[in-house]
Structure 1
Amino acid sequence: MNQPVQFTLVRHGETIWNREMRLQGSKDIPLSETGLAQAERVAARLSRETFHVLYTSRLLRAHKTGETIAAAVGVPHHVQDDLRERHFGEFEGCTRQEILDRYPDFWTTGFSHDAPGVESFEALSARAYRAINLIADQHPGEHVVLVSHGGTINAFLHAITDGRLGSGISKLGNTSITRVLRDADGSWQVLEIGCTAHLES
């Protein structure tokens, strides 16, 4: 841990369920036509930079976004399963409003529910933190692209900032870019959050 590691964290492109505000979680929903176009645009933007390797979640929406970026920037594409989205059990497939009608506090960071299969926020945050630190350990001095999910990236930001940023605070749109740096001493810096300038031109 004697060299800094830079990460460019990218949320996956849009899916139909994103558009419907339907909770995806572990469901393997593919990119929509809009999502495929967003992936091409973020890939074109990142192709102007130098990277060494790319990691994605195994879920299709992140994997396809990552595949598109990896081809554009010319780096190896690896799957890290712990980059997957939070598992929401019985809530997966429900719209945001359907969930809020039953549990008004559902989207707060500390909300917990005893339904089978619902991964706690604490478990998600720990999983994301552990996975990204492991990747950093394997790539000292390099610039890593990491394509994951809004909940997972925000839970990681929550972990490295003691809750000052991330879940409940930071807005991450589809294919948004977030930059972080792990310094040589193992501490983390947040450089940029949720940039979608590539979708605006």
Structure 2
Amino acid sequence: MRLYIVRHGETQWNTEGRLQGQADIPLNEKGRAIARATAMGMKEIHFDAAFTSPLIRARETAQIILGDRKISLEQDERIQEISFGEMEGCHVRGEDGQVVVPRFQDFFENPGAYMPPKGGESIQELCRRTGDFLEELKNRQELQGRTILAATHGAASRAMLLHITRRPVAEFWGSGVPKNCSVSIAELEQGEWILKKQDVCYYENF
């Protein structure tokens, strides 16, 4: 089994430094353009199955990448973005890109200590549900030896990679927040997920 984990394309809230979480924000024009470029880069891949977060920015990214492939797109809430509760929609980065809300300095710099706002999820809760998705995937007999697309989000994709690489929560962000439409590839070998490539981008000059 080979799994392509793709973060969604850009949204207006991405450009404004606002927390999206589970707010249902669509792609902007640049987001659609980089999704189309990613689709071109992945056009030779034969996908057998596809999963997406139910949020529109992930669904639209998956639909653009799949193009005219005759594959049903299965929505799964376990790979939607972490919930930021009452903080969704808030600006957390200044014009220089630096985090200006103290709570979210922990989210990005000390994830093990992050305390979610009211109504939000902890990173540990996010890791549990994305890990459950990956464990179920590898045990689905009809998907053995298949190639799969999973369209998801920044933090959710990092949680998936954390499960795949078996690293601690302290290393949650790894090389940082993934770029929009970046692709990571994992393969199932002898019943275990192995990370093969991380944060591949199929576009330039956007």
Same structural fold, with TM-score higher than 0.5 when normalized by the shorter chain? yes
Given that 1:11 and 1:149 are in contact with CA atoms closer than 8 Å, whether structure 2 keeps it comes out as yes
In structure 1, what is the equivalent of residue 123 of structure 2?
A: 121
Aligned-residue sequence identity (percent) comes to 30
Q: Deviations over 1:155-197 (max 9, x none)?
A: 111122232796221341000010011223x21211111111x
- SS of the residue corresponding to residue 105 of structure 1 reads helix
Name the aligned partner's letter for residue 186 of structure 2: V
Name the aligned partner's letter for residue 100 of structure 2: L
Q: 1:167 aligns with which of 169, 172, 183?
A: 172
In structure 1, what is the equivalent of residue 51 of structure 2?
A: 55
Q: 2:144 aligns with which of 127, 131, 140?
A: 140
The alignment of Structure 1 onto Structure 2 pairs a total of residues equal to 195
* Change beyond 3 A, Cα 1:81–1:105: closer
Report the aligned-residue RMSD.
Answer: 2.0
Flag structure 2 segments of 5+ consecutive residues without an equivalent.
Answer: none
Q: 2:161 aligns with which of 149, 157, 162?
A: 157
Given that 2:49 and 2:148 are in contact with CA atoms closer than 8 Å, whether structure 1 keeps it comes out as yes
- SS of the residue corresponding to residue 113 of structure 1 reads coil
Q: Name the TM-score, length of structure 2 as normaliser.
A: 0.87
Greater Cα shift, 172-181 or 135-144: 135-144
Q: Deviations over 1:72-115 (max 9, x none)?
A: 44422111111100001122112223763332323222133263
Q: What is the distance in 2 between the residues matched to 1:86 and 1:152?
A: 6
In structure 2, what is the equivalent of residue 9 of structure 1?
A: 5
Q: Deviations over 1:136-167 (max 9, x none)?
A: 32211101011000100101111222327962
Given that 2:21 and 2:81 are in contact with CA atoms closer than 8 Å, whether structure 1 keeps it comes out as yes
Flag structure 1 segments of 5+ consecutive residues without an equivalent.
Answer: none
Q: Name the TM-score, length of structure 1 as normaliser.
A: 0.89
- SS of the residue corresponding to residue 26 of structure 1 reads coil
